[in-house]
Amino acid sequence: MNDLDFSELDSFTEKMWDRVNRDYPEKAEKVVKRCVYRAKNVAKNNTPVRKYGQSTLTKDKWTGSVKKSPNKTLGIIKLRSRKGHLIEHGHIDADTGAFIEGAHMLERTMTGEQPKIDRDIEKMVDDIFNL
């Protein structure tokens, strides 16, 4: 029993987040909007720019939104570019036939932003319940 188990702490935080969503939906929405806006900007910065022409059209196609339903507040980040899925997941170059590895912009963004999102939620829960 030398290992530390934080699974109960995570479930406690999740229960508190569910309670905040239910009892304080406007505060939950504010935190989600802030997290979505920040993550959208990080994803935009992670988006590669075409080497020739320096086109930033794909970078400018990131959108973020907040969806609300009873007892839930969800943040959504999407890349609305027609060729965004090719940049995200990879593709075969039409000229050379070589596979071009995907940039995995959204995955890298969420990996880097998850600790910040958790910190924002914990701070909000502490402020509401005076913990």
User: Is pLDDT of 103 > 50?
Assistant: yes
* pTM as predicted: 0.77
CA distance 117 to 104: 19
pLDDT by residue (tens digit) across 47-92? 887 766 556 678 888 999 998 888 788 888 888 888 888 888 888 8
Element (H, E) at 50: none
Angle, alpha carbons 127-10-67 (nearest 5°): 70
Residue predicted with more confidence, 66 or 131: 66
Determine the pLDDT at residue 105. 87
